[in-house]
Amino acid sequence: MTVSMLERARANARKIEATTVEFRLGEIEHLPVADETVDVIISNCVVNLSPDKPQVFREAYRVLRPGGRLMVSDLVLNGPLADSVRKNVEMYVGCISGAEQRERYREQIRGAGFTNVEVVSESGYAVGADAFVEGSAEREAFVMVTSVKVRGQAVRPASPGGCALGALLTAVLASAVQGQNGTVPGEITSQRRRSRPPSNGRSNSS
């Protein structure tokens, strides 16, 4: 992502008076977003360009709120690519050479902590194939490529630190109440009951 891309996005947002969008400069391996602040992450054909996909999915998991969802559209592979294709820069920027093997891609998402990881749709991909001579390794590589949409959910385990803090606060509050009047909270209630007037509504002194 570049500064000029950001400038264009902001100019377009102003043009259509879109006031509820915000654009931040960053990389998918290091999102400029605080922990657990995001409801949904969508991405179209970007992850395959990252040389460190496990880190991309760890970042996605980090910023999602508990229950937050991920939906990624990407290219994956169904077999190995020829060495010449893997080293071909044109094939890399064309989103082919950097693509991950299909099953490993899903494992990387799961490895970051996501649950309910599933491929919700898939189709063949041949964009740009015509630029290569028929029978060439580059042209053949497109047979290995599938366009997929994969989803996952950031269902986080309950934080043990949070429970311990809750128990500690309860204990501190209980001892504070006890310290004020020398009783525990249950005893305060029974003392009030004892000092109520008789059930005929008259007090003892009348």
Ligand X SMILES: C[S@@+](CC[C@H](N)C(=O)[O-])C[C@H]1O[C@@H](n2cnc3c(N)ncnc32)[C@H](O)[C@@H]1O
**Interface positions with ligand X (CB under 6 A):** 1, 27-29, 44-46, 49-50, 95
DSSP bridge partners of 150: 72, 119
Name the residue nearer to ligand X (CB basis): 32 or 161: 32
User: Residue 115, class by beta-carbon neighbours within 10 Å (0-12 exposed, 13-18 middle, 19+ buried)?
Assistant: exposed
Q: How far is the CB of 46 from ligand X (least distance, A)?
A: 4
What is the residue type of 70?
Answer: L
Name the residue nearer to ligand X (CB basis): 123 or 205: 123
Name the residue nearer to ligand X (CB basis): 5 or 188: 5
| C-alpha 79 chain-centroid distance | 28
Q: How far is the CB of 27 from ligand X (least distance, A)?
A: 4
Q: How far is the CB of 66 from ligand X (least distance, A)?
A: 25
CB 174 within 8 A of CB 184: yes
CB 125 within 8 A of CB 105: no
Q: How far is the CB of 159 from ligand X (least distance, A)?
A: 30
Name the residue nearer to ligand X (CB basis): 93 or 171: 93
